[in-house]
Amino acid sequence: MSETVPRPTLEAVAERAGVSRATVSRVVNGAHGVRDALAERVRRAVEELGYVPNQAARSLVTRRHDAVAVVAAEPETRVFADPYFAQQLRGISKELTAHDNQLVLLLIEGREDHARVGRYLAGGHVDGALVFSLHLHDPLPGLVRRAGVPTVFGGRPDWEDGRDDVVYVDSDNRGGARAAVRHLAALGRTRIAHITGPLDQTSAADRLAGFRDVRAGADPGLVAHGDFTPGGGERAMRELLDRCPDLDAVFAANDLTAAGALRVLRERGRRVPDDVAVVGFDDMLPVAEQTDPPLTTVRQDIEEMGRLMARLLLRGPDPRTAADGPDAADPEPGTSGVILPTTLVHRTSA
């Protein structure tokens, strides 16, 4: 049985550096007022001894925990199976890691989990929260507000309560949808269908609005409801083919939906793109490049969205100038947000 080696203490660092314990504490906690020469001696002693600050004690001094809660309003079966969430979490993690912050992942399996998440956020365990995948009438915004933690939301907010401090990051879902449908129309397609996402989420509602911007007055039967999953895409595609067998194009609300739609088209003997052209949304490379045929889709920078959410929370810049580059759209009135541009990526399916 190996012996436990005692952890170096603050007093040991002070003795090695030849300074007071208070001086070591100020240097370790990033406080000002210590001469450069003394601070360098302390840092050298910390490195030589391998001293690691006690986070609980440090938090009492700095009132910071160097931890951020990432709250996804989805069950774990969805979060860990959908590559969209993997890309967003990767962007968040990269930014937090670069600033020596820990990611605390909180998932919502059911309505009963909201109280648990609310208690955790209010308990002073984290410095802020990143909240995404909200659904209509979700209680999370109210819980976060009552917890009093700084928060950045992923996706355009769908609540209106007179507040002007809602910070969010989103993609130009409506503009991207318009580009997708205009592309299909430019190919000469006249019976263009749309498979929506869950319409209790603003991203899906905005993509449906973009479809309708271009196809105003289109046959209502050419719209079928999905849920951002391959299974939802399959069900909706079967419904559309049964209802409108003469359709010649499909705009799917995301790539997973498009993948399901492509499977059904192949089962029904429809050639893509000869008989039916298909466009998705997201440009998730594990999906879009491996469908048969490869998927034409609207690209949104999912990882960048996650990174920017974390950066807004940690650095607190003016959201109107936070995005890299000049192409971000203005935020919605009454909010402080960044809307990132989208681009159409051409592949074989359309």
CA atoms of 124 and 19, how far apart (whole Å): 33
| Percent of residues, the chain, with pLDDT higher than 70 | 86
- The Cβ of residue 79 has, within 10 Å, a number of other Cβ atoms equal to 19
What's residue 160's pLDDT?
59
- The Cβ of residue 241 has, within 10 Å, a number of other Cβ atoms equal to 21
Q: What does the pLDDT look like over 16-46, one tens digit per residue?
A: 888 888 887 777 776 677 888 888 888 888 8
Contacts of 116 (CB under 8 A, 6+ apart): none
Backbone angles phi, psi at 153, to 5 degrees: -100, 145
* Residue 251 or 217, more confident: 251
What's residue 1's pLDDT?
44
Q: In the predicted model, is pLDDT for residue 329 greater than 50?
A: no
- What is the bridge-based pairing of β-strands 296-299 and 343-345? antiparallel
What's residue 20's pLDDT?
84
Q: What does the pLDDT look like over 102-125, one tens digit per residue?
A: 999 999 887 788 888 988 888 888
CA atoms of 224 and 194, how far apart (whole Å): 6
Backbone angles phi, psi at 349, to 5 degrees: -70, -15
What's residue 252's pLDDT?
98
pLDDT (mean) for 192-200 = 97
Q: What does the pLDDT look like over 135-183, one tens digit per residue?
A: 888 888 888 888 889 999 999 888 655 455 789 999 999 999 999 999 9
Residue bearing tokens 């039967």: 221
CA atoms of 65 and 126, how far apart (whole Å): 6
Structure tokens at 85: 């969430």
pTM: 0.78
What angle is formed at CA 126 by the lines to CA 124 and CA 129, rounded to 5 degrees?
Answer: 120
pLDDT (mean) for 307-313 = 94
pLDDT (mean) for 308-329 = 64
Nearest CA to 247 out of 188, 187, 194, 191 is that of 191
In this structure, what is the dihedral angle of CA atoms 44, 45, 51, 53, given to the nearest 10 degrees? -80
What's residue 94's pLDDT?
94
Structure tokens at 272: 């893509």
What's residue 317's pLDDT?
44
What's residue 10's pLDDT?
73
Q: What does the pLDDT look like over 250-309, one tens digit per residue?
A: 999 999 999 999 999 999 999 999 999 999 999 998 899 999 999 999 999 999 999 999
CA atoms of 162 and 91, how far apart (whole Å): 31
Structure tokens at 332: 């919605």
CA atoms of 82 and 232, how far apart (whole Å): 13
CA atoms of 187 and 65, how far apart (whole Å): 55
Contacts of 101 (CB under 8 A, 6+ apart): 66, 67, 68, 127, 314
What's residue 56's pLDDT?
47
DSSP 20-62: -HHHHHHHHTT-S---HHHHHHHHHHHHHHT----HHHHHHHH
